[in-house]
Structure 1
Amino acid sequence: MTVPRGLIVGAPRSGSGKTSVTIGLLRALARRGVRVAAAKSGPDYIDPGFHKFATGRMGVNLDTWSMAPPLLDTLAASAADGADLLVIESAMGLFDGIDAAPGRSGAASDLARRYGLPVLLVLDVSGQSRTAAAVAHGFATFDPEIALAGVVLNKVGSERHRSQAAGAIARAGIRVLGSVPRNPDMALPERHLGLIQASELAGIEAILDGLADVMEASLDLDAILAAARPLDLATVPSGPALPPPGQRIALAQDAAFSFVYPHVVAGWRAAGAELVPFSPLADEAPPDDCDCCWLPGGYPELHAGPLAAASHFREGVARFAAQRPVHGECGGFIALGATLEDAGGVVHPMLGLLGHETSFARRKMNLGYRSARLLGDTPIGLKDSVVRGHEFHYARVVAAGPDEALAEVSDGIGNLIGPSGGRRGNVTGTFFHAIASETG
């Protein structure tokens, strides 16, 4: 059996152009007939959607902080199965993680070290030239266990600019494997939680083909393929990241509720569960023949009016919750509450199955890893079990309501945050997204 090869696309920081380079590279290689797969380091659930469109294969997250090593290795092996090349896109800067046990920081460098993969370093050289060589040299020497495959210069302003930066990097003994011209048309559209999701972009195929055209003209694809190394994969099997919350799971899926980690639903299906999608924005209720309803994260704050007016959805979820579990994460948690104040200050009634009130007008960013000890049996785990996850939202709770807390939550380095979420009867919800049980 052929061992798949891999590499990591990294950068010094967010905003360097990693995602544009990655998805353009993925599509360019796929057009060549390379069986290419992709993964995203860290908890970002938007980029794997772009990876899926670029490769035709489901994307996956590989998060060294949230995922126990057996689960991490199982997901990496599954992502690479049947592929010639696995490309892992870094989150933030290559070495950006948190203080944690060795190999569990959440940084992409953990994956490079664990799987023996080289790094294709994307350098935004706008506003600099020869200084780029100092940055590249720092990456090449910072961690002796991590090798650079080479450097891609991004946002190059002219041939003279390219020559100065590339020449200095080459003299430092580091290969330059491409240079991408400055091009504002390469920017992907964004909103408050990051990129607009690939599934929402009507012109996604044209965007991907355009980026692939740029990468074919700008990168040495043959050299990049040759620089990839065989993945050093363990074979320890793992169960699902989270136990299925039911045999048939009614899963809200539309523009308001769309943030579901691919590895979570894949694990549910592998464990024998069936997912039945329904659309709150189309005023659909969770099907009565399901035994759990899951409201994922998304953008209810952008659709508060239609959700408030969706009477069939509202009545159906209330009827479902009278007998069976209903769980909401982030956006789903917002929808389970009493009210939501939108960006314009208009207050809309939500499902009212929990008592909290949230506001998007009075914004406060919440971002970071979360470790949650569950205070009761819930769809994400049993009482006193610990679930690791991530929180990223701008809405804030302006009235807590009378419900019992779902969990006692700490941040990624163990600082106690306090009670989080709510539970009432069969209804549970929280702002954090569960990624894996601590032992999973």
Structure 2
Amino acid sequence: MIAGSDHPRRTAVAGNSTPGLVIAAPASGSGKTTLTLALLAALRRRGRIVQPYKCGPDYIDPAFHAAAAGRASFNLDSWAQGRDRFDALLDAAADADLCLAEGVMGLFDGVAASGAWGIGSTADIAAATGWPVVLVLDVAGQAQSAAAVALGFARYRDDVTIAGVILNKVASERHAALVRDGFATSGITVFGAIGRDNRLTMPERHLGLVQAQEDSSLASRLAALADLVERDIDLAALQAAARPTRRQPRTDAPRMVPPGQRIALARDVAFSFVYPHLLAAWRAAGAEIIPFSPLADEPPDPSCDVVWLPGGYPELHAGKLATTSRFADGIRTFALTRPVHGECGGYMTLGAGLIDAAGTRHAMLGLLGLETDFAQRRLHLGYRTATLLAAIPGHPAGRVLRGHEFHYARVVAQPDQPLANIRDASGVSTAETGGRRGRVTGSFFHMVDVAEETRA
């Protein structure tokens, strides 16, 4: 329990038991992200050190968490992360007062087949950590029935505890009173009620929210969100509902081999999808990360021994990328002697061409033969395993990686030698195998962790 502004600060120790909560909902679109950001901003304003987490494979929400909390947010994933990796990430909260994990989709939603140790649901994370769940309920069009929804969620899994609810999209004081009336005999705490306010809606695009670094009004938006929850949420009761982190017997997380000693990492609004836990693991293994901006026409540092082009939104900047001569020449020269790897957006940029949403084709780097089309886009979404048919930087042929795929590109041509046998969460092979040519490799696959059976 955390109470009072004079709560003592924790010292960093391995195997910490910092109390935590999970912010979840019955379905996507209920307001989890907005409420999580509001709580992070309000608690930070009150002097709390809050360690944010995001359940599932998401790049965009953690960047907003970091802006609100003032510290890096890490992904927790029961399908893609080994349990030892997962437990090691909990140590990020060793100096924090509270952990706050934002859920993914509905609380119990996941895939049909278990992965590393679960189905990728928010409930898996709540059960593994022992963190109670604060359920965000969109009560638009509901009154007393909202309590029945919450009761069903409270009884669905014995190893998941519902601490209480936050009512969202309340139409009026009368509406809030009717909803609260349904909870009067439920035994479920109502921490507060949030009214409809379009000013607080976070801007979105096709892969989710507009990125944190692109939102020029983010600071004022976070301040407004903090004002909102300080007025309408019982923050003391919410913090008191947190419970210490449950840990399994401690084992050291396996070392994540970095792709090189000096890594030239593309980093700007077109190439920003990099998991914080991977960067931390690379640095912990002694690697140096040297960022450069393709959009600013910067070439990779020639003293580096690998180039890593992460995912992002190259389709929104394809015209500009097609004119970046210093970047293009630098990558092409680099690839003559050292490895270059691209994930998703980086893979598309390494390809021959990209057709944007307006139907205009833009020449890309041409280091691979991939042609992609966003004018006739198609959603590719889900967990993946990748069994490497050839080495990529940091991983030998034959290694099995766990991760996911999320893009709208339609593949027009994929003429290169396949990079990996990629299967979905059900074990079905996918057509997007990635490609390799010389020292250049790439795929739509986003790596989260190494499958435990091939770590040696």
Match of 2:98 in 1: 85
Aligned AA (2:366): G
1:314 has 2:366 as partner: no
Aligned-residue offset at 1:308: 0.5
CA deviation digits over 1:135-194, x for unaligned, max 9?
A: 001011111211111010000000111011111023212110110011111210000110
Aligned-residue offset at 1:393: 0.5
Q: Distance in 1 between matches of 2:183 and 2:113?
A: 33
Aligned residues: 437
User: Does the 8 A contact of 1:328 with 1:430 survive in 2?
Assistant: yes
Aligned-residue offset at 1:233: 2.2
Q: Distance in 2 between matches of 1:430 and 1:380?
A: 15
Q: Distance in 2 between matches of 1:199 and 1:418?
A: 33
Q: Distance in 2 between matches of 1:104 and 1:381?
A: 24
The 3-state SS of whatever aligns with 2:184 is helix
Match of 1:195 in 2: 209
User: Does the 8 A contact of 2:137 with 2:146 survive in 1?
Assistant: yes
Greater shift, 163-172 or 231-240, is seen at 231-240
1:257 has 2:271 as partner: yes
User: Does the 8 A contact of 2:52 with 2:73 survive in 1?
Assistant: yes
Match of 1:218 in 2: 232
Aligned-residue offset at 1:419: 5.6
Q: TM-score, normalised by structure 1?
A: 0.97
CA deviation digits over 1:371-391, x for unaligned, max 9?
A: 010001112521011001111
List aligned pairs for 1:286-305, cutoff 5 A. 286-305=300-319
Q: Distance in 2 between matches of 1:418 and 1:373?
A: 14
List aligned pairs for 1:110-189, cutoff 5 A. 110-189=124-203
- Tell me how large the CA RMSD over aligned residues is: 1.2
The one of 34, 48, 53 equivalent to 1:39 is 53
Match of 1:236 in 2: 251
Match of 1:16 in 2: 30
User: Does the 8 A contact of 1:77 with 1:233 survive in 2?
Assistant: no
Aligned-residue offset at 1:396: 1.4
Aligned-residue offset at 1:65: 0.3
Match of 1:420 in 2: 433
Aligned-residue offset at 1:399: 1.3
Aligned-residue offset at 1:243: 1.8
Q: Distance in 1 between matches of 2:395 and 2:155?
A: 43
Aligned-residue offset at 1:111: 1.0
Aligned AA (1:268): W
The 3-state SS of whatever aligns with 1:152 is strand
CA deviation digits over 1:199-235, x for unaligned, max 9?
A: 1111111111110100101100000010000001232
List aligned pairs for 1:330-345, cutoff 5 A. 330-345=344-359
Q: Could you say if the C-alpha distance between residues 380 and 167 of structure 1 is closer, same or farther in structure 2, counting changes exceeding 3 Å?
A: farther
Q: Distance in 2 between matches of 1:239 and 1:56?
A: 28
The one of 384, 389, 397 equivalent to 1:370 is 384
Aligned-residue offset at 1:3: 3.2
For structure 1, the residue ranges without an aligned partner over 5 or more in a row are: none
User: Does the 8 A contact of 2:382 with 2:406 survive in 1?
Assistant: yes
Aligned-residue offset at 1:289: 0.2
User: Does the 8 A contact of 1:170 with 1:176 survive in 2?
Assistant: no
Q: Distance in 2 between matches of 1:395 and 1:415?
A: 20
Aligned AA (1:390): H
User: Does the 8 A contact of 1:38 with 1:51 survive in 2?
Assistant: yes
The 3-state SS of whatever aligns with 2:392 is coil
Q: Distance in 2 between matches of 1:23 and 1:237?
A: 31
Greater shift, 302-311 or 372-381, is seen at 372-381
Match of 1:98 in 2: 111
The 3-state SS of whatever aligns with 2:252 is coil
Q: Distance in 2 between matches of 1:184 and 1:419?
A: 39
Aligned-residue offset at 1:62: 0.4
User: Does the 8 A contact of 2:22 with 2:126 survive in 1?
Assistant: yes
Aligned AA (1:15): G
The 3-state SS of whatever aligns with 2:404 is strand
Q: Distance in 1 between matches of 2:247 and 2:201?
A: 34
User: Does the 8 A contact of 1:408 with 1:418 survive in 2?
Assistant: no
Q: TM-score, normalised by structure 2?
A: 0.94
Q: Distance in 2 between matches of 1:404 and 1:111?
A: 38
User: Does the 8 A contact of 1:126 with 1:155 survive in 2?
Assistant: yes
1:430 has 2:439 as partner: no
The one of 286, 289, 293 equivalent to 1:275 is 289
Q: Distance in 1 between matches of 2:388 and 2:203?
A: 37
For structure 2, the residue ranges without an aligned partner over 5 or more in a row are: 1-10
